[in-house]
């Protein structure tokens, strides 16, 4: 990471954001980090996170990718959703999304330009070994909480 940029948000507000080219979010890890009742409506929680990431995308030049577990939902299919790229784990089971995130970073020619948000300790270690910047889910959520809307 080369430092921090001050990104202008909607309605003139400002939010500090790392100066990176790409942001990758471990979706279910972030969703599951707060006891919001997400387990009663996993799909609704994913939709909410996408909307919050879309507001983030409006404040940064960085590409935003959200990696989710489970089967793609019709309204959250793989692909671009108003500036947020959604990807799904390629298999079912434990650490499935982690594998997709690791592959994204490992296949990138500039992994140092990627900021990943996950609280999974094993994944964090592997990503740091590849050169990516890593922060926990609480860091991302605190930043999202400061965005307008």
The CATH number assigned to the domain holding 105 equals: 3.40.50
| Count of structural domains within the chain | 1
Report the distance separating Cα 82 and Cα 21, nearest Å.
Answer: 17
Q: Are 67 and 87 in contact (CB under 8 A)?
A: yes
**CA distances to 20, 85, 119, 128, 134 from 123, in Å:** 19, 20, 8, 9, 9
Report the distance separating Cα 52 and Cα 149, nearest Å.
Answer: 9
Per-residue model confidence (pLDDT) at position 17? 57
State the alpha helices, DSSP H only, in 58-116.
Answer: 96-106
Per-residue model confidence (pLDDT) at position 12? 37
Range of the domain at 96: 6-145
Within 13 Å of residue 116, how many CA atoms lie on the same side as its CB?
A: 31
Backbone angles phi, psi at 58, to 5 degrees: -70, -15
Report the distance separating Cα 16 and Cα 8, nearest Å.
Answer: 9
Per-residue model confidence (pLDDT) at position 8? 39
- Going residue by residue through the chain, which has 149 residues, state the pLDDT in tens, using 9 for 90 and above: 333 343 433 333 334 456 789 999 999 999 999 999 998 999 999 999 999 999 999 998 899 999 999 899 899 999 999 999 999 999 998 889 999 999 999 999 999 999 999 999 999 999 999 999 999 999 999 999 999 87
Q: Are 101 and 67 in contact (CB under 8 A)?
A: yes
In a domain, 1, yes or no: no
In a domain, 37, yes or no: yes
Per-residue model confidence (pLDDT) at position 7? 40
């Amino acid at each position: 990471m080369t430092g921090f940029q001050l990104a202008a948000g909607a309605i003139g507000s400002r939010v500090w954001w790392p100066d990176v080219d790409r942001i990758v979010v471990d979706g279910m890890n972030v969703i599951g980090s707060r006891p919001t009742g997400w387990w009663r409506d996993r799909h609704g929680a994913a939709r909410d996170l996408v909307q919050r990431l879309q507001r983030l995308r409006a404040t940064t030049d960085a590409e935003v990718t959200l990696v989710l577990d489970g089967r793609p939902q019709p309204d959250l299919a793989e692909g671009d959703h108003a500036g947020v790229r959604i990807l799904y784990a390629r298999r079912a089971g434990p650490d499935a999304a982690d594998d997709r995130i690791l592959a994204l970073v490992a296949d990138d020619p500039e992994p140092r330009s990627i900021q990943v948000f996950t609280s999974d300790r094993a994944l964090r270690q592997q990503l740091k070994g590849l050169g990516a910047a890593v922060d926990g889910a609480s860091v991302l959520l605190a930043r999202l909480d400061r965005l307008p809307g």
